[in-house]
Amino acid sequence: METTAHRVIRLLERRGILDPGEYDELADQEPVLAGMTAASIMGLVSTGDRAGARVRRVLGDPAEAVRTGNLCYASRGFSLHAATRIEGGDKAGLERLCNYVSRPPLAAGSLEQFSENEYSFKLKTPWSDGTTHLILSPMELIEKLAALVPPPRANLVRYHGVLAPNARDRDKIVPGKPDEEELKNTRGQSKNRLLWAALLARTFKLDLETCSHCGGRMRIVAAVTDPASIKTYLDGVGLPSEPPVLKPARPPPQADLDWDYDLGA
């Protein structure tokens, strides 16, 4: 890794992409966050009484290389997962994949408090040196979570293959810019901005401008903005005119599920 980092940085400097004396905006504006991010990458603690020390770990049997599944392999901090493929029209599979990549940083049940000032975080897959758990103090846990918060206006998504910006077949998959006729009929306040109804129809195939009963095109007859007139109209057509009562916030119920299943014969 040291060799790779050295060669990549040297290549970027030679091509003029990276300036050795480049100004680090994050380190100047958020020095604490920058220190926590750097320490997290190196496996160190940057705050509290153990600042500069390595994160405590629980070791198991060491493994130089691990095959985690079919077409899945992990070795020395690198992992390859080539067993998942989503077809072009598989919307349900795409949704499952999006749910997976947008999962929270801590899986349910992986974090356990075993003393007043110590937490145990269980790794999904043992590291190559045999590490199975990380031992963190409350301050160290907050520090590692803070390092996962992306800086503002940072691009976290990179597209590869046919979705890349200059891909040859990108225009066959990604919708292009609307034509002039479409913009003329559906544009909003900006000349290059579509109306919300047109965006819904384009993205989710929900045509809200077509009547579900007669199939005709709907048009705006009047825009009612007076609160008294709105209440009179809603009461007249039998719709609720009062806002719903907000219920108090509660934690997500996933951790409290306790179902009794009766599968039958």
Is 50 within a domain?
yes
pLDDT digits (tens, 9 = 90+) for 101-151: 777 777 767 888 888 888 888 888 887 778 888 888 888 888 888 887 777
Please tell me whether residues 196 and 71 are part of one structural domain.
Answer: no
Share of the chain above pLDDT 90, in %: 0
Query: Is the model's pLDDT at 251 over the cut of 70?
Result: no
Please tell me whether residues 178 and 142 are part of one structural domain.
Answer: no
Please tell me whether residues 15 and 68 are part of one structural domain.
Answer: yes
Answer yes or no: pTM beyond 0.95: no
Is 91 within a domain?
yes
Is 244 within a domain?
no
**Boundary-marking domain end, from 113, 147, 181:** 147
Is 161 within a domain?
no
Please tell me whether residues 113 and 199 are part of one structural domain.
Answer: no
Instruction: Give the pLDDT confidence score for residue 12 in this predicted structure.
Output: 82
Instruction: Give the pLDDT confidence score for residue 253 in this predicted structure.
Output: 57
Q: Which residue range forms the structural domain that includes residue 191?
A: 173-236
Please tell me whether residues 224 and 121 are part of one structural domain.
Answer: no
Structural domains in the chain (count): 2
Please tell me whether residues 47 and 133 are part of one structural domain.
Answer: yes
Please tell me whether residues 141 and 181 are part of one structural domain.
Answer: no
Higher pLDDT, 117 or 30: 117
Please tell me whether residues 37 and 133 are part of one structural domain.
Answer: yes
Instruction: Give the pLDDT confidence score for residue 153 in this predicted structure.
Output: 74
A 10 A CB-CB count for 144 gives: 20
Instruction: Give the pLDDT confidence score for residue 72 in this predicted structure.
Output: 79
Is 152 within a domain?
no
Question: Mean of the per-residue pLDDT values for the chain?
Answer: 76
Please tell me whether residues 224 and 115 are part of one structural domain.
Answer: no
Is 180 within a domain?
yes
Higher pLDDT, 47 or 18: 47
Query: Is the model's pLDDT at 59 over the cut of 60?
Result: no
Instruction: Give the pLDDT confidence score for residue 190 in this predicted structure.
Output: 63
**Boundary-marking domain end, from 112, 147, 182:** 147
Instruction: Give the pLDDT confidence score for residue 10 in this predicted structure.
Output: 83
Query: Is the model's pLDDT at 62 over the cut of 70?
Result: no
Please tell me whether residues 46 and 111 are part of one structural domain.
Answer: yes
Indicate the pLDDT class of residue 61, thresholds 50, 70 and 90: very low
Is 75 within a domain?
yes
pLDDT digits (tens, 9 = 90+) for 180-191: 665 566 565 566
β-partners of residue 73 are: 80
Instruction: Give the pLDDT confidence score for residue 191 in this predicted structure.
Output: 62
Please tell me whether residues 6 and 104 are part of one structural domain.
Answer: yes
pLDDT digits (tens, 9 = 90+) for 206-245: 888 888 788 888 887 888 889 899 999 889 988 888 888 8
Q: Decide: 210 and 216 in contact? Cβ < 8 Å.
A: yes
Average of per-residue pLDDT across 152-177: 76
Is 262 within a domain?
no
Please tell me whether residues 91 and 196 are part of one structural domain.
Answer: no
Query: Is the model's pLDDT at 25 over the cut of 80?
Result: no
